[in-house]
Structure 1
Amino acid sequence: MSTPQFSFATTAEEVATAFASEIKGKNVLVTGTSLNGIGFETARVIAKYANLVIITGYNEERLKLSEDALKKDVPSANIRRLILDLSSLAAVRKAAAEVNTYSEAIHVLVHNAAAPLGPFKLTVDNLEKQIATAHIGPFLFTKLILSKILAAGSSSYVPRVVFVSSGAHAFGAGVNFDTIGKPNEEKYQALDAYTQGKSANILMGIELSKRSNGRINAYSLHPGVIYTNINQKEESIAVMQSFGVLGPDGKPSTERFEWKTIPQGAASTVAAAFDPRLNDVPGAYLDDSTVANDAVAPHSSDPANGKKLWEVTEEIIGEKFVL
C-alpha cells in the first residue's frame, strides 16, 4: 500500500478508505455522536468497515436518530446504542457496567463528547460541567472499561484511546489544579473552562500511553475549527462571538479562522484511531491527520502536569486508576 499523505482538506471518508484494512474487524466506541457533529461523521465512515460501532449520547431520542441515520447511510453497519452522560459519575458507572457485559472487546475508544461553551454550570457531582464532560467523566469511563480495551490487544495489535482536543488549548494557561475539583463560579470564564478541558485531553493522551507500558496507545488531536451542533447552541453563541469565532450574525467568521467542514473535521480522529504509522509515537497530538507535537503548548505536554492531573482526577472520582 502506498503511504497516504493527508492535508487540511482531507476528509474522514478518505482516511477511512486509506485504512479500511486496519478498521476491518474492529470494535469501536465513539462518544458524542449527535447528528451534525464530528462524532457522528467519525462513526459513519468507520461503520463501513468495522465489525461493531458503539455510539453514545445522554439523550435516548437523539441517539436513536443517529442510529437510524447511520443505518440508512450504511445498511451493512453493525451499530449499538449506549446511553452515556459523561457529566454524571453515576451515569458513567452505569454505562461502563453495560459495556462490561458485552461479549466483544473494544479495539478503539474515541472520546469525542464535549459540553457546550456557556455560563457556569455545576453537575450532579458539584463539578464544573465542561471539565466534567471533557475530562473527569472520560477518565472514569476509560478506567472502568479498561479490561475490555486491554482484551483487544494481541501480539500484532495495540488498542487505542483517542481524545478529541483542540488547538484552542494553547489559548489558555492549562489545567487549573485549584479549581478542577472545587469549582469557583466567581473566577469562571467559559473559554478558559473549555481550554482547560482540551489541555487535559492532551495530557491524558500522553499519560495514559506512558502508564500503559505499550499495552494502550493513546492520542489527542485538533479537529479544526468547525461549525457543528455544539457551536449552534443558544448558550454558546455569545461566547463564540466574543472570541471572534462567530460573527455578529451568529454565523462562522472567516476573519480569524479557516474553517473545516464536518467531514474534514472528523479526519484527524479517524487517523488517530487507525493510522498504523502512529504505533511508533504513542501519546502524539495530531492536526490535519498528521503528527503535530510541536503545536502543543508546554503546559499541555509537561510530564509533571500529566502526573498531577492523573492523581488529582483519581481523588475526584474516589478511585485509583492503575494500569
Structure 2
Amino acid sequence: MSTGPTFSFATTADEVAAAFAAEIKGKNILVTGTSLKGIGFETARAMAKYANRVIITGYNAERLKLSEEAIKKEIPQANIYPLVLDLSSFASVRKAAAEINAQPEPLHVLINNAASSFVDFKLTVDGLETQLATDHVGPFLLTKLLAPKLLASATPMYTPRVVFVSSPAEGFGTGVDFDALEHPDPAKYSKQLAYGQAKSANVLTAIELSKRSKGKINAYSLSPGLIFTNILEKEDSIPTLQSIGILGEDKKPNTEHPWKTLPQGAATTIAAAFDPRLNDKPGAYLDDSTVANHLIAPHSSDPAKAEKLWNITEKIIGEAFVF
C-alpha cells in the first residue's frame, strides 16, 4: 500500500477513524448488527464523530435504542438513524431497504457486519439455515436492494463501498457447500462448518461484487481478529467454541490466542470503508487494517466458486443483482 498512516494489531477504531476523518466527513453509512458490546456498535460509534449520518441496525428495537442512546450520550452531535432489520427474513430485509430507499439522502458505505455464529440448526422463515441466511443471503439481498442508493452517491472522485466483515473462520473446512445452501439438511449440519461457510461466502461475495460492478462499487472483506464479543457469551455457542479451543473450560478466552479489544476489533472495518489506498484494490481482504490477500483460503478466493455462489444466491432470493 502507498504511503499514509501505518496500522497494526493494536490500532483502534478511533485511531483509524481519526486518520480518515476527511474521508468520513459528509458520508452516510449503514452498519448492520450494532448491539452494545459488539464490533458493529464500536464501528458505528467511532465513525459517528465525523460522518454526516450513521444508520445502525438490529432485529431488536429495544436494544437498537440502547445503542443509539449510548452513541448520542458520548457524541451529542451524532446523526444516528436506527433501523429495525432482521437479516434472517427476506421480508424484513425488503422492508428495511425500502425505508432507506425512500429517503432523499444518498448512501456512501454499506457495512455488512451482523452475524449469527455457531448456533443450533434451525430454518428461517424462508427455509434457509440460520447462519448462512443471516451472514450471507440476507446481506446479499440487502446489498442488492441498496445498490441503486449506493450508486447514486458516486462522483468522479468517489466510488461507493460495501464492506463484508468475515473471519479467519473463512478457512474452515472446504468452503461453501452449495447443496447445503440451497437444501439445508440437519443430518449433515455442523455449527462450526456452517459458520466457516458463511464467512467464506462473505469473502467470495466481495470479490464477485467488485468484479461485476466493473468499478461502480468497491467491495472489501476483512478479519476483525479474535474479540470477546456478546456472540461468545451465547450458551448454544459455548460448547463449540470450547471444542475448537477459543474458550477454556471456564468459558473465558483461551489466552494462547491473541485477543483484540472491541476498539481494536472494529479498526479494520473502518479502514476497509475509508482508506483511500484501497481504491485500486477492489475485492481485497484486510487484516489488522491492511491488505492481506495472502491469508485467504484458496476456497474463499476461487473465482469459479465466487461466480457460482453469486448465481445460486440470486436464485435463492428470486431476483437478479444488476447494476
Superposition TM-score, scaled by structure 1 size: 0.98
Distance 2:105 2:26 in 1: 11
Determine the structure 1 residue equivalent to 2:266. Answer: 266
Instruction: Determine if the alignment matches structure 1 residue 111 to structure 2 residue 99.
Output: no
Looking at structure 1, the residues matched to 197 and 103 of structure 2 have their Cα atoms a distance apart, in angstroms, of: 33
User: Residue 314 of structure 2 aligns with which residue?
Assistant: 314
Which deviates more, 32-41 or 117-126? 117-126
* 1:135 alignment partner in structure 2: 136
> Aligned-residue CA RMSD in angstroms?
1.0
CA contact (8 A) 2:160 2:216 kept: yes
**Equivalent AA in structure 2 for residue 304 of structure 1:** A
In the alignment, which residue of structure 2 is the partner of 1:203? 204
Aligned sequence identity (%): 67
Answering whether residue 80 of structure 2 is matched by residue 79 of structure 1, we say: yes
Per-residue CA deviations over 1:176-211 (Å, capped at 9, x if unaligned) read 011101101001000000000000000011100000
Q: Which residue of the partner structure matches residue 158 of structure 1?
A: 159
Question: What are structure 1's unaligned runs of at least 5 residues?
Answer: none
C-alpha distance in 2 between matches for 1:200 and 1:288 = 20
Q: Secondary structure of the equivalent of 2:163?
A: strand
Which residue identity does 1:264 align to in structure 2?
A: Q
Give the AA of the match of 2:21. A
**What's the counterpart of residue 175 of structure 2?**
174
Identify the residue that residue 237 of structure 2 maps to in structure 1. Answer: 236
* 8 A Cα contact 2:119 2:131, kept in partner: no
Partners of 1:118 and 1:239 within 8 A in 2: no
Partner of 1:56: 57
Match of 1:217 in 2: 218
Aligned residues of 1:159 and 1:217 also touching (Cα < 8 A):
yes
Q: 1:172 Cα shift?
A: 2.1
Q: Which amino acid aligns with 2:307?
A: K
Output the amino acid matched with 1:317: I
What secondary structure does 1:124 align onto? coil
User: What secondary structure does 1:175 align onto?
Assistant: coil
Question: Deviations along 1:56-77, whole A, 9 cap, x unmatched?
Answer: 0000000000000010011110
1:206-238 per-position Cα deviation (integer Å, ceiling 9, x unaligned)? 100000010100000000000001111111111
Partner residue of 1:304? 304
1:42 aligned onto 2:43: yes
Give the structure 2 partner of residue 8 of structure 1: 9
Which amino acid is the alignment partner of residue 114 of structure 1? A
Q: Is the 8 Å Cα contact of residues 116 and 233 (structure 1) preserved in structure 2?
A: no
Mapped to 2, the partners of 1:304 and 1:322 lie a distance apart of: 19
> Which amino acid is 2:230 matched to?
N
| One-letter amino acid of the counterpart of residue 121, structure 2 | F
Residue deviations 1:102-123 (CA, integer Å, cap 9, x gap): 1111100000000131211110
Deviations 1:79-107 (A, max 9, x none): 00101000001111111111111111110
Dislocated runs of 4+, deviation >2 Å: none
Give the distance between the partners of 1:301 and 1:224, measured in 2 at CA.
Answer: 19
DSSP-derived class of the 1:64 partner? helix
1-side partners of 2:182 and 2:57: how far apart?
Answer: 25
Matched, 1:67 2:68: yes
The answer to whether the Cα contact below 8 Å between 2:28 and 2:108 also exists between their aligned partners in 1 is yes
* SS, match of residue 180 in structure 2: coil
Gaps of 5+ in 2: none
Per the TM alignment, residue 167 of structure 1 is displaced from its structure 2 partner at its CA by 1.1
What is the number of residues matched between the two proteins? Answer: 322
2:278 is aligned to 278
| Whole-angstrom distance in 1 between the partners of 2:184 and 2:281 | 35
Contact kept in structure 2, 1:116 and 1:235, CA below 8 Å? no
Helix, strand or coil at the partner of 2:219: strand
Once the two structures are TM-superposed, the CA of residue 145 in structure 1 deviates from its matched residue by: 1.2
Aligned partners of 1:226 and 1:260 also within 8 Å:
yes
Q: Give distance in 1, aligned partners of 2:109 and 2:42.
A: 16
For 1:173 and 1:73, locate their aligned partners in 2 and report how far apart those are by CA, in whole Å.
Answer: 44
